[in-house]
Chain A
Amino acid sequence: MKVSFPHMGNAYIPLSALLTNLGAEVLVPPRPTSRTVDMGALHAPEFVCLPFKVNLGDNLRALQMGADTLAMVSGMWACRFGYYGRVQHQILRDAGFEFDSILLGRDGLLPVYKKFQSTAGGNLLRAWVHALRAFKRKAEAMDALETSARQRRPYERDKGASSRALDEGLAMVHRAGSLREIDAARGEALALVRDVEVESGMDEPLRVAVVGEIYAVLEPSLNFDIERRLGEMGIISHPVMSVYKWLFRPLKIDTSILLAERRARRIARPYIAYVLGGEEHQTITGTINAARKGYDGVIHLYPFTCMPENICRTILPRLESEYGIPVLNLCLDEHASPTGMATRLEAFSDLMKQRRGKRATA
């Protein structure tokens, strides 16, 4: 079985570990580029949201690489994401590709569990237990590395050094096989990031919360690697979501994630009273919390025509004035350009600096 799945940040690292341990051969498509987006957009319905097009492009590339099985989460959902797998796989079949689908959520857990009967060899249950442990361990390592690079970046002496250390570290974790190797790789990789030289005596960096639709926040190819950009501009970013939480939230085993979700819903309720099926609660609450914590601004990222975030976008100007925090709205589509993004970030950074200056003198 040659299995593939669309990209979501560094999720391919734990997901590859999971599937490899189940005996599947994993094909990771190249990181999405504008070519991926173009390929996806060519086959996608015209005004479907951008993550759909990127995912579809990833799938196309994987099929061209020889994948014979495509996996995707799917199911009953309030938003479009729940239908991605179903529609994308149909589009690909109509385009003449033959492959097997794993639609997690829609097919129920048992068929997915049994799917690996032939590849896992021997004891299926044991293979799953081991695969899930490797998955979790790698996801934790990935999260720790991402967090540490994010904190280091604004202070680095040599621009880009933290990102290079992060990439190297992630590759080490990705290569690691056994649980023991994963732990060792994690330690070494974290040391790499820690060893990045920092500037001393810097001003306190600007702090921004990054909120919005989950792919737009977490997938660097959609947001032109905003986290890295901000870091290298000397700004600390605080994304309200992480790939780790994205992976573990649906599994409902990590109570801290579930409690945070509930808290976010509660805080957002005066502004959004019902569940809309996206990250609307995180967007609203993330903005309010950013103001309460004294951050300098909020960046709101969302794909063109994104439904829940369109609603947030409508409401955010009110929060901006009620809580006194500037919000930069960035709407992403396949025509967005990295230079456009860079210009807007520069302008926003200037605005935040000015505000900070004013607050200091006031």
Chain B
Amino acid sequence: MVKVGVPRALSYYRYFPLWKTLLEGVGAEVVLSRRTARGLLEDGVRHCVDDICVPVKLYFGHLMDLKDRVDRLFVSRIVSVEKCESETYTCPKLIGLPDMVKGSLDGLPPLLEFVVDVQNRSLKSSARKLAGELGAPAPVARKALAASLEQQSRYERELLRGRAPESAMETIFANGNGDSSRREREPEKAGDVTIALVGHEYLIHDPFVSHDLPGKLSRLGANTLLMSQVPAEVIAAELDRYPGISWSYEKELLGAASHFLGRPDVDGVMLVIGFACGPDSIIGEIINREVRGPESPPLTTLVLDEHTGEAGVATRVEAFVDLIRRSRKHRRPGS
């Protein structure tokens, strides 16, 4: 069986159930890279341009982790993810990801490129191409695609219920994401404050770079809300007020921030952005200036990169939770 390595970074958090089911359906064995650790990140940093965003550095680290133990490397090219009238894109780096990999790393196993470009080609044709490269006949590919779309929607339903990505994967796959090293705690919803996290999932849910931000919040007694819990229609409705953005993923950040900032049960919003992230630098500013209003709950921005220390994140999070608790007491005296 051909072993296909899938890096646990970037679009993994959104699409892994689809990819895994598809790859296995056409007869491949899926090998997932190990969880991010210091050495892996350093490996990524070494193989990247200095001033590129940390999620791309992580991606490179995960590729290096896989390269010697697989036959093929699965690399995604996410170009467009929205079918709409205006032209929309993801980030230039997600579009050019395979180009960067091919253009700079030597000694890799052959790449298996998977293109998501829904404005110009169907997922079906991308799946067919992938299956073809792995030598699977068309009927097998068709069946695998149907099964993988099924899994993907189950996954997305779990996310909507508020599950973190890897915990949701554990539910939908009998044996999780194929990685038994992990034991997920369910978030308890008994905290006295509720904080919404807005930011790219590959940043927030990589426990190494975010220093387990969601876990930190829950240990401080806060309930967390995730962007992936906000239904697409709600985001779309929010975006009516902020037109003119063509980065699909940033639209989600913007729509989710606007939704959370207007919700009475949300006590605070943390905007988590990556240092050197181009789109975030713009959307962060739009959220802070166009969306946040005088009535909004507190909003704070946490910038993460490979040098961000555990202590730094802990201090910021504690200070923010404190601030919210204090301002609440202030707002509701006697309660």
Interface residues of A (CB under 8 A from B): 45-49, 75-80, 82-83, 86-87, 90-91, 94, 106, 271-278, 280, 304-308, 310-311, 313-315, 317-318, 331
Contact = CB atoms under 8 A, between A and B. Distances in A.
A76 B96 contact: no
Contacts of A274: 77, 79, 95-96, 117
Contact of B92 (A82, A94, A277, A317): A277
B92 A311 contact: yes
Contacts of A272: 96, 99
B284 to A, nearest CB: 6
Given A273-B98, A314-B52, A86 B244 contact: yes
Contacts of A314: 48-49, 52, 100, 103-104
6 contacts: A76-B86, A87-B282, A90-B285, A271-B99, A305-B51, A314-B100
A289 to B, nearest CB: 18
Given A78-B92, A80-B281, A307-B92, A94 B289 contact: yes
Interface stretch (B133-141, B153-161, B198-206, B271-279): B271-279
A215 to B, nearest CB: 14
A313 B100 CA distance: 9
Q: What's the dominant secondary structure at chain B's contact region?
A: mixed
A80 B279 contact: yes
A82 B89 CA distance: 13
B282 A48 contact: yes
A276 B276 CA distance: 17
Given A76-B246, A77-B246, A273-B99, A278 B282 contact: no
A304 B281 CA distance: 13
A277 B276 contact: no
Nearest to A94: B289
B323 interface: no
A76 B49 contact: no
A227 B246 CA distance: 35
A311 B281 contact: no
B91 interface: yes
Nearest to B305: A47
Nearest to B250: A83
Nearest to A303: B51
B87 interface: yes
A78 B90 CA distance: 8
B49 A307 contact: no
Given A90-B289, A271-B99, 8 more contacts: A45-B284, A78-B92, A90-B286, A273-B98, A273-B99, A304-B51, A307-B93, A331-B50
A306 B53 CA distance: 10
A306 B281 CA distance: 12
A336 to B, nearest CB: 12
A106 B244 CA distance: 8
Nearest to A268: B99
A91 B285 contact: yes
Interface residues of B, number: 38
Most chain B CB within 10 A, of A46, A78, A308, is at: A78
Contacts of B286: 83, 86-87, 90
Contact of B100 (A90, A277, A315): A315
Most chain A CB within 10 A, of B276, B282, B286, B290, is at: B282
Q: What's the dominant secondary structure at chain A's contact region?
A: loop
Contacts of A106: 244
Contacts of B104: 314-315, 317-318
A315 B103 contact: yes
A310 to B, nearest CB: 5
Nearest to B50: A331
B282 A80 contact: yes
Contacts of B86: 76
A193 to B, nearest CB: 38
Nearest to B47: A314
B61 to A, nearest CB: 15
A83 B303 CA distance: 21
A47 B276 contact: yes
B143 to A, nearest CB: 29
Nearest to B56: A310
Contacts of B282: 45, 48, 80, 83, 87
Nearest to B100: A314
Given A90-B290, A315-B100, A310 B51 contact: yes
Contacts of A77: 246
Contacts of B95: 274-276
A78 B245 CA distance: 9
B58 to A, nearest CB: 15
Given A90-B289, A311-B93, A318-B103, A76 B275 contact: no
Nearest to A84: B282
B89 A47 contact: no
B332 to A, nearest CB: 30
Interface string B65-87: 00000000000010100000011
Given A76-B86, A311-B99, A315-B99, A278 B92 contact: yes
B242 to A, nearest CB: 10
Nearest to B101: A314
Nearest to A74: B244
Contacts of B91: 307
Contacts of A91: 285, 289
B77 A80 contact: no
A78 B89 contact: yes
Contact of A80 (B50, B79, B278): B278
B97 to A, nearest CB: 9
